[in-house]
């Protein structure tokens, strides 16, 4: 192997992941998706990878991209149909105190995020929770922090809960049913911990106010992608029924063991066969995330071919002893350095060297730890940034230190829970 190629690969790889860690390039406005794209382009332009190598299935994981894109379309149509507004209205009709609102917010956010991509759930629910908290004269800060931390915790429950789980599902060979059986209980217990931690940290703010407005029902209107609330119509009600039916069928087919990427694409195709203008749906798709995934696939593949291949990972004896605990901690640390999706892509070659007897558990530990680690700081996951930014636009400031009051203890507790569960609960 050409030594110059190895050094060049290292240089582009470190620059790319350094940019991901910072989230930007000083002096420029480029984001993480652009950084990954530039890194991939440099791998091609410098000859580190040929074009055929870069677009091969060994490099770009098309199954992950197809599944992620299909689920984005499904969730986008659910949102545009007004499903999330209606569900929130139904769930919150009996809310009378800040504590009950917190419980409902955590429950709805966590359960929806277990089956649908957590980032989109946060986009849909943040304005609703903020509106209801203000209407009832509650402090919105603990409600919003409860929303996003629950979305992260709940998303470990199934393969379709978040982008890194989707990637792990495609590479681990673990079925949707098996994945849910192992991690959905951890997600549910984690939601209980989320409620208790937020309740403890904000116990004074969650005391019931002396005066409050009566909770209203929000299911007579629906929310467009830009946050505008508009009256419901027969066509939108029909779209909601169709979207819910397709979503339930999709999840059922996932559990039945059918190829998930084909099921997701099929569901998306059915939902696009409608009178709604497709551009409304396309605007909801997280194209930046898809671009970042594609760029990172190429960057990481080049790093594997020219660098990792010479490491002799198969001879790493430490992987035979306590791999669950070690990789969980490494994943948690790396996820907060470069974000959870790049961390999972980087650790994937290590998974292949784990003894087969413990490989499934270690894959699940990677999913659990990279997701729970997203709650550590406000920069830990895309979902956190979505809620913080939407709240800021509405005049609610969630500072780094304020978020950490919940994020740090919750991350420590949930990581301990996840490691103990995977170590001692086997089936």
pLDDT classification of 122: cutoffs 50, 70, 90: confident
Residue 90 above 70 pLDDT? yes
Residue 313 above 70 pLDDT? no
Q: Which of 310, 336, 320, 324 is closest to 416 using CA atoms?
A: 324
Q: What angle do CA 375, 378, 379 make, to 5 degrees?
A: 100
> In this predicted structure, what is the pLDDT of residue 67?
87
> In this predicted structure, what is the pLDDT of residue 124?
82
DSSP-assigned beta bridge partners for residue 221: 231
| Range from 89-98, 150-159, 255-264, 325-334 carrying the lowest mean pLDDT | 89-98
* Residues 121-148, mean pLDDT to the nearest whole number: 87
pLDDT classification of 223: cutoffs 50, 70, 90: very low
> In this predicted structure, what is the pLDDT of residue 215?
52
Residue 230 above 50 pLDDT? no
Residue 418 above 90 pLDDT? yes
> In this predicted structure, what is the pLDDT of residue 12?
92
**Cβ atoms of 411 and 376 closer than 8 Å:** yes
* Residues 26-40, mean pLDDT to the nearest whole number: 87
pLDDT classification of 326: cutoffs 50, 70, 90: confident
Q: What is the mean pLDDT of the chain?
A: 84
Torsion-angle region of 391 (φ positive above 0: left; ψ -120 to 50: alpha; else: beta): alpha
> In this predicted structure, what is the pLDDT of residue 347?
80
Those residues whose C-beta lies under 8 Å from the C-beta of residue 203, and which sit 6 or more positions away, are none
> In this predicted structure, what is the pLDDT of residue 218?
46
**Of residues 46 and 345, which shows the higher confidence score?**
46
> In this predicted structure, what is the pLDDT of residue 217?
46
Residue 61 above 90 pLDDT? no
Chain center to CA of 363: 16
pLDDT classification of 32: cutoffs 50, 70, 90: confident
| Range from 56-60, 160-164, 357-361, 423-427 carrying the lowest mean pLDDT | 423-427
> In this predicted structure, what is the pLDDT of residue 416?
93
pLDDT classification of 247: cutoffs 50, 70, 90: very high
Residue 232 above 90 pLDDT? no
Residue 409 above 60 pLDDT? yes
Q: Which of 51, 56, 49 is closest to 8 using CA atoms?
A: 49
Q: Which of 411, 409, 415 is closest to 202 using CA atoms?
A: 409
**Cβ atoms of 268 and 69 closer than 8 Å:** yes
Residue 222 above 60 pLDDT? no
> In this predicted structure, what is the pLDDT of residue 53?
87
Q: In this prediction, what percent of the chain has a pLDDT beyond 70? A: 89
pLDDT classification of 397: cutoffs 50, 70, 90: confident
> In this predicted structure, what is the pLDDT of residue 311?
65
């Amino acid at each position: 192997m050409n030594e110059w190629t190895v050094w060049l690969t290292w240089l582009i790889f470190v620059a790319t992941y350094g940019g991901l860690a910072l989230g930007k390039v000083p002096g420029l406005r480029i984001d993480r998706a652009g950084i990954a794209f530039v890194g991939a382009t440099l791998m091609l332009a410098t000859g580190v990878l040929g074009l055929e190598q870069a677009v091969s299935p060994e490099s770009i994981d098309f199954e992950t991209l197809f599944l992620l894109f299909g689920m984005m379309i499904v969730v986008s149509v659910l949102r545009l149909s007004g499903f999330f507004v209606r569900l929130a209205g139904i769930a919150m009709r009996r809310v009378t105190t800040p504590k009950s609102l917190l419980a409902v917010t955590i429950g709805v956010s966590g359960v929806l995020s277990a089956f649908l991509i957590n980032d989109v759930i946060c986009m849909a629910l943040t304005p609703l929770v903020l509106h209801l908290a203000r209407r009832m004269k509650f402090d919105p800060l603990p409600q919003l922090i409860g929303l996003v931390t629950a979305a992260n915790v709940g998303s470990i429950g199934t393969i379709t809960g978040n982008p890194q789980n989707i990637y792990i599902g495609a590479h681990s060979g673990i079925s949707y049913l098996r994945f849910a059986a192992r991690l959905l209980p951890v997600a549910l217990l984690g939601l209980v911990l989320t409620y208790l931690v937020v309740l403890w940290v904000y116990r004074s703010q969650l005391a019931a106010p002396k005066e409050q407005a009566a909770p209203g029902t929000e299911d007579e209107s629906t929310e467009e992608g830009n946050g505008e609330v508009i009256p419901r119509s027969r066509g939108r009600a029909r779209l909601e029924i169709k979207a819910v039916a397709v979503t339930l069928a999709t999840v059922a087919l996932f559990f039945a063991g059918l190829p998930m990427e084909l099921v997701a694409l099929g569901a998306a195709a059915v939902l696009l066969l409608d009178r709604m203008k497709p551009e409304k749906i396309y605007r909801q798709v997280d194209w930046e995330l898809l671009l970042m995934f594609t760029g990172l696939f190429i960057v990481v593949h080049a790093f594997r071919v020219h660098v990792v291949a010479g490491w002799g990972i198969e001879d790493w004896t430490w992987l035979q002893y306590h791999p669950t605990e070690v990789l969980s901690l490494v994943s948690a640390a790396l996820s907060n350095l470069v974000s959870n999706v790049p961390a999972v892509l980087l650790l994937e070659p290590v998974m292949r060297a784990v003894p087969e007897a413990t490989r499934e558990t270690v894959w699940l530990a990677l999913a659990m730890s990279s997701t729970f680690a997203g709650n550590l700081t406000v920069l830990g996951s895309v979902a956190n940034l979505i809620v913080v930014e939407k709240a800021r636009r509405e005049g609610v400031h969630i500072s780094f230190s304020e978020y950490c009051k919940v994020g740090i203890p919750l991350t420590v507790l949930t990581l301990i829970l996840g490691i103990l569960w995977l170590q001692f609960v086997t089936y």
